[in-house]
A and B are shown apart, each in its own frame.
Chain A
């Protein structure tokens, strides 16, 4: 995706792509809005079933990782290659911890039968099915984006190590970082919508 040396152009392309990602999730948020309007009580009740501690921990993890990604870019610009790689490794670690938490969270839900079509949810009110249906679709798609973002960060890490990304050629790292911030940003919306409904 190296469009000559026009970094502004590459950035425009990346922002347009990020925009499409926002609209992709936007479609799901439209569904959320419509169903929240239809089942406000069920959404509030079932939101309490979610583990706020793990949700909050995951939020903090992603915020830290966003900071370290941004810092890694600054480090590279100041030609501190090792520091840059270290910060990227921290971001990757945060991403991995996020997924581990998610695994335990989902695992627990499955264990107690809180998923669509489970025997425990047979005959449950419609709003409950919709709430957990949306919960799995949105956090699942977000988890997929975490994986993609981590792959991009890992790729950047390797390229920084091989000196293919340097202080003068930061485009790939910068765009991977932008993608990671997007993943973070979407979670900032997902977290209150599911975990903090009053």
Chain B
């Protein structure tokens, strides 16, 4: 196996050399890695901005920045984290790299379209940077671009909104590519109930991307049209209705949070059985709950708008539907925990991250029910409670799943192993920091501290100081984690083909994989999480 040249040594299309072998590649693995570096760049940038925001809130009054800069900074943090990190993160990096391999094929269905998606992603990012320095600077609207403020503010809203439009297109085309790949490029021996769960979660995600993204596209185009032509479609003074904007915005942006979390759940569904050496509990239940979340999650958007003056009937319906989403979500959590029960668990950094994911995501999910219930929501709407809930799901959830995926597939992508000790320390530090950072925000929110506010009353001082200390710990932990991964390039400890004892197809090929992934048509197991062969060999 060691003699097979890896995809690093074989450019595709053949004949490309140097940087061109990357920039013009059709190889899904190279594109996955190109996404990896681009996404990590944006993640690091938004992380630093997040830390600066937290430092500003450490003490009352002005600490390190002015109120205007603060407004732009939290918008920038949100826009980058949402559109450039969380949405593309797991699908574009690990999905591109592993979806074709898990399906037993050599590439995605539209390799050139895949390259186009990457360029759209880069273009969107560049536009966001340009909008920082042109025509009034980065928007101060928050990542939601709510009208009428986004129409009226002097900051450079149109370009930022256009950047989000381009990024949406990139994500939509990736989704389109994945759906077609799952249908048409799947190994002929692989039935629907033999597809690994990570790929299943990407399939569900891709449908939401294709279904929902065009709604945000048109909404963002309307914001641009309003800015440039001043039509008045959302201006109550001229017959427009700003609430309609909120409906259109959340019709995409709520399903989008499932675009963000479903791939993370897929990652965890791979890691838990692998390190339990045990078939996953309720494979079909997890598959159907992914699709269930994708469907139910598309029908709950107006739970962001309980205080907007909607009718009570609408609030009741949306609240009920929101509670329904909790059911498939809980099915997954129970399945993971049941997989661990009486298993032969082997601790490793990916498993530690996955376990932390389950814990933090459960807290995020349960506090989501507090917000989804129409009554309590009135009390905590637009407070730091929402900020804490959102970060528990998106950061404690998707973020930690992303870290877990990095540690799980790093040896496969690069063929090298990282230092476990430092990985454990980083994971612990990150988690402790995370809890000190966000738990005080729940309490501050219950006490009534509004979100997106530059200054606060004296009774909130203690909680904010504590949260900032947590934020610094969190930042240190993540920095240590990334440094540890990067140091593996220096030590270059070779990783075997199957370091973890996984039984999906990516662990049957060399690390890193060869250009066409498989040297011969792969054998498909009857059941994707059958560990008897792995256990027999060990």
Contact = CB atoms under 8 A, between A and B. Distances in A.
Given A1-B112, A27-B218, A16 B180 contact: yes
Q: Which of B172, B218, B219, B232 has the most CB of A within 10 A?
A: B218
Q: Which of A20, A23, A35, A126 has the most CB of B within 10 A?
A: A20
Contact of B238 (A1, A30, A129, A136): A129
B232 A116 contact: yes
A17 interface: yes
Contacts of B239: 35, 38-39, 125-127, 129-130
A16 B212 CA distance: 12
Contacts, number: 107
Interface in A1-19: 1, 3, 6, 8-9, 12-13, 16-17, 19
Interface in B233-260: 233, 238-241, 244, 247-248, 251
A154 B113 CA distance: 21
Contact of A17 (B176, B230, B240): B176
Interface in B359-407: none
A6 B184 contact: yes
Given A13-B110, A129-B239, A3 B214 contact: no
B213 interface: yes
A174 interface: no
A40 interface: no
A13 B176 contact: yes
B227 to A, nearest CB: 13
A1 B113 contact: yes
A26 B215 contact: yes
B522 to A, nearest CB: 18
Interface string B170-190: 001000110110011100000
Interface in B197-238: 210-215, 217-219, 221-222, 225, 229-233, 238
Nearest to B108: A3
B357 interface: no
B275 interface: no
A31 B215 CA distance: 11
A117 B230 contact: yes
Which DSSP category, helix, strand, loop or mixed, fits chain B's interface? helix
Interface string B127-153: 000000000000000000000000000
Interface string A131-162: 00110110001000000000000000000000
Interface in A92-127: 116-117, 125-127
Nearest to B183: A12
Contacts of A30: 244, 247-248
A150 B369 CA distance: 50
A4 to B, nearest CB: 8
B238 A27 contact: no
Given A13-B110, A24-B218, A127-B239, A3 B213 contact: no
Interface string B54-65: 000000000000
B231 A20 contact: no
A1 B109 CA distance: 9
Given A16-B179, A24-B214, A34 B244 contact: yes
A27 B179 contact: no
Nearest to A21: B214
Given A1-B110, A16-B210, A20-B210, A9 B184 contact: yes
Nearest to A17: B176
B296 to A, nearest CB: 19
A127 B239 CA distance: 6
B213 A20 contact: yes
Contacts of B217: 24, 27
Contact of A8 (B184, B218, B221, B241): B184
A126 B248 contact: no
B184 A12 contact: yes
5 contacts: A1-B113, A13-B109, A26-B218, A27-B214, A130-B233
Given A9-B183, A31-B244, 11 more contacts: A3-B110, A13-B109, A13-B177, A23-B212, A23-B214, A27-B218, A31-B248, A117-B229, A129-B232, A130-B233, A137-B225
Interface of B: 109-110, 112-113, 172, 176-177, 179-180, 183-185, 210-215, 217-219, 221-222, 225, 229-233, 238-241, 244, 247-248, 251
